[in-house]
Amino acid sequence: MATATGASLKGKVAIVTGASSGIGAETARYFASLGCYVSITGRNLDNLMKVAKECEERGLPKDKVLVVQGDLSRDEDVKKLVDQTVTQLTFSINNAGIFKPDTIETVTMENFDSTFAVNTRAPLHLLILTGPYLVKTKGTVVNVSSMNGVRAFRGDLSYCMSKSALDALTLGAAETLALHGVRINSVNPGVIKTNIHRRGGMNEEQYAQFLEKGSRTHALGRIGQPIEVAKTIAFLASDDSSYTTGETVTIDGGRHAMVIIRPKPEKTKT
């Protein structure tokens, strides 16, 4: 008899970072609906508590939803997250990320360091700390990367670099930990409707224009929704993808297949 997709997550334990909004929040809710116990973390405690309540509404007992407030750019907060999560950890979903626009002409080392601290260093640190638990449970890791990791986008230099490095971590760690039965994969979303660009400095008008442009740069003619990424994360975390590791899966509505011809920049008048 066939089992439902994601059924193997039931009764297991998952850490979900960046769970106070967007893809992380939707992943926590979706995992909860599959009966997976969740340890959720993020910087906004009010939002985390709201997501925890929604996980309970999806069927999880209150004591199976752990809320750990923290900033994963801080080593002590990464350690606190692992220490407070039960030792039967099976899944680690590295979703926390920040975006601050820059180019080679405007980048600062401060922006580079803060972007890498959350987008790349924190997943590495978390993997180091959770590795022993994952080996015991033959667990899985899903890194939430980006299309920016596989293609260059103007104005996103530090972000693109951080996501390329995250993909490299996925490949390198997958090759080694496969020897212990641990699988590691990445999802690489295109434009998904979340708050990351607003937090990066876009106002409402700019964000609306960004979303409208996204509907033209993705082959399916629309932007994506967090649940579409969450379902792919669940597939990669579960036994349904038991022969898949070291993979980077684009969830981008065909964005990677599009050829975008940019207009030449206007010449500066002298």
Per the rule left: phi > 0, alpha: psi between -120 and 50, beta: everything else, 144 is beta
Query: In the structure, what pLDDT confidence band is assigned to residue 2 with cuts at 50, 70 and 90?
Result: low
Amino acid identity of residue 9, one-letter, is: L
Per-residue confidence (pLDDT) for residue 161, from 0 to 100: 96
Q: Which amino acid is at 119?
A: N
Reply yes or no on whether the pLDDT at 75 is more than 60.
yes
Which residues on neighbouring strands pair with residue 173, listed in sequence order? none
- pLDDT for 3-14, tens place per residue? 677 889 999 999
Task: Tell me how far apart the alpha carbons of residues 269 and 69 are, in angstroms, rounded to a whole number.
Answer: 51
pLDDT of residue 261: 57
The per-residue pLDDT for 86 is 72
Per-residue tokens: 89: 């950890």
Closest CA to 254 of 166, 147, 153: 147
Catalytic residue among 30, 37, 133, 159: 159
Residue 150 DSSP code: T
Residues contacting residue 235 through CB under 8 Å, at least 6 positions apart: 5, 6, 241
What average pLDDT score do residues 226-251 get?
A: 97
Higher pLDDT, 6 or 129: 129
- Residue 195: predicted pLDDT: 75
Q: Can you read off the two tokens belonging to residue 80?
A: 């606190």
Least confident of 107-111, 180-184, 210-214, 252-256: 210-214
**10-257 — its CATH code?**
3.40.50.720
DSSP string over 69-133: E--TTSHHHHHHHHHHS-S-EEEEEE-------B-TTT--HHHHHHHHIIIIIHHHHHHHHHHHH
Instruction: Specify whether the CB–CB gap between 116 and 34 falls below 8 A.
Output: no
d(CA 232, CA 116): 25
- Asked if 159 is an active-site residue, the reply is yes
H or E element, residue 139: none
Measured in residues, the chain has a length of 270
